[in-house]
Amino acid sequence: MKGGLFLNKKDLRGKVLELRNSISDEEILNRSTILMNKIKKMEVFNDSKTILIYVSFDKEIDTHDMIKDCLKIGKNVVTPICNTKDRTLILGKTSMFPEGFHKTKYGILELDPKECDHVNIKEIDLIIMPGVAFTKKGERLGYGAGYYDKLLAQKSLHTITVAPVFEEFIFEDIPTDKHDMLIDYIISG
């Protein structure tokens, strides 16, 4: 979908999620594998020791195999834990997957924050970001709660952000706010 500017985030988010939900699980898995393989070939991925990876749910680009692969090759893997009280992310050190994870009321697999080591955002070399829609300039439309924008505002200058996205969800423009953070690399396919 290459359309122009939507008037507001809510309308665009709703339209994209509706379209995304129409994609079969098999197609999502196949296309996700292609996108994750593109990320694995990036120099920034290979140079990164500590990687924050979102744990995909529902019809998101699948990251489950990527998490397992990163653990296999010796990367320090960190996954987000939603602190719903203040809409921030706790970063949990992940040593295996999906063992030790539980499903939240939103259907997202997370570690128990009381049972894992926490990692400071400044220790992260690479963040593989979720999102609903993007632009080639790196603008991101998330789910609307601001978790990742708050996190990115605290990251180190050396931390690189990468977002995998299905090509039909890249737009020329998307509605943004001043607190919205840009993504360094948009990986599409």
Q: Which residue has the tokens 């963040």?
A: 127
| Residue ranges of the binding site for ATP | 9-13, 140-148
Q: Rounded to an integer, what distance in angstroms lies between the CA atom of residue 92 and that of residue 120?
A: 9
CB 67 within 8 A of CB 41: no
Q: State how far the alpha carbon of 185 is from the alpha carbons of 38, 89, 133, 170, in Å.
A: 11, 21, 14, 13
Q: Rounded to an integer, what distance in angstroms lies between the CA atom of residue 152 and that of residue 121?
A: 8
| Residue ranges of the binding site | 9-13, 55, 60, 140-148
Q: Which two tokens stand for residue 149?
A: 């924008």
| Residue ranges of the binding site for substrate | 55, 60
